[in-house]
Amino acid sequence: MNRRVTKAVFPVAGMGTRFLPATKSVPKEIMTLVDRPLIQYAIDEARAAGITEFIFVTSRGKGALEDYFDRAPELEATLRAKGKTQLLNVLGATNMDSGAIAYVRQNQALGLGHAVWCARHLIGDEPFAVLLPDDVIAAETPCLKQMVEAYEKTGGNMIAAMEVAPELASSYGIMDVAPGVGRVLPMRGMVEKPAPGAQPSNLAAIGRYILTPDVLRHLGDIEAGVGGEIQLTDAIAREITQRQNVHGFRFEGQRYDCGSKAGFLQATVAFGLARSDLGEELAQFLGDMMVQRQAAE
């Protein structure tokens, strides 16, 4: 029987330079998508998958991120006094129990693999998940929960996969997978940001992983890769070579790249339209804007 996945790592040490000047004083992870910070979407997804221990890999300037998950007694008291029970419930979902979140510092910007490696002492010898808050996934069944259910049958390592256009492959870690039509695909290799035309497939890894402690050991051994950084992809590729126990997972859902401005805007519109309290008004506004734009042309 495969061990349960109860720990998750959230690499949140990046400076968010693509969103300057906003991220000069506000961590990118607490920028709001409609009315919830990006990190809240990731935390809620992890909770739905059975995660009970949350490990944040942070850096300087992330104090507001830590404060977000703390209680706000004065605000709670004000809402309670005014009888705003619904808002109190919303606020309660942002609170984390004492000890549920641990923070470790990544004091050098050496890449995603290095960020995950920084959490090694808190992970120990257990399987663990990694969630990148920049990747927000709208799905009926949360993406990580889909993966955990598949992992219970396969064990090993599992990486969320989506198809990308050939011209975009050089921006992703690309999977070399055995032919198959199912959701779970055995991987034969993995390449970080392959040169144009050299990609082994059109399946890209996105920010959801279930990994074994062996990957952590590889991260401690490998040299810097693409961009002079410790690449998580390289450690996973070594695990494939040594144990052949890595699977790609075609998830059901729509992924939005909220690490880019365009992706963030697209996600805002999509999530806004899906809201019962906002969707109708937003759809009307967007429709009117399109009519005005076409008339102007």
Q: Give the pLDDT confidence score for residue 193 in this predicted structure.
A: 86
Among 177, 189, 239, which Cα is nearest to 211's? 239
Q: Give the pLDDT confidence score for residue 100 in this predicted structure.
A: 82
* 222 and 273 housed in the same domain: no
**Does 105 map to a domain?**
yes
Q: How far is CA 60 from CA 37, 55, 65, 132, in A?
A: 19, 16, 11, 18
**Does 2 map to a domain?**
no
By residue range, what is the domain housing residue 28? 7-259
* 208 and 265 housed in the same domain: no
Q: For the residues of 160-189, what is the DSSP string, one character each?
A: EEEE--GGGGGGSEEEEE-S-SSSEEEEEE
* 292 and 235 housed in the same domain: no
Nearest-10 Cα torsion for 242, 202, 19, 264? -120
* 222 and 294 housed in the same domain: no
**Does 1 map to a domain?**
no
* 164 and 279 housed in the same domain: no
* 70 and 115 housed in the same domain: yes
Summarised one tens digit per residue, pLDDT across range 249-288 is 999 999 999 999 999 999 999 999 999 999 999 999 999 9
Q: Give the pLDDT confidence score for residue 1 in this predicted structure.
A: 65
Q: Give the pLDDT confidence score for residue 233 in this predicted structure.
A: 87
**Does 252 map to a domain?**
yes
* 127 and 269 housed in the same domain: no
Contact criterion met (CB below 8 Å) for 188 and 176: yes
User: How many domains, in total, are found in the chain?
Assistant: 2
* 99 and 149 housed in the same domain: yes
* 275 and 134 housed in the same domain: no
* 294 and 209 housed in the same domain: no
Q: Give the pLDDT confidence score for residue 159 in this predicted structure.
A: 96
* 210 and 96 housed in the same domain: yes
Which residues of the chain fall short of a pLDDT of 50? none
Q: Which two tokens stand for residue 125?
A: 């010898």
Phi, psi of 209, rounded to the nearest 5 degrees: -135, 150
* 116 and 157 housed in the same domain: yes
For residue 237, the domain's CATH number is 3.90.550.10
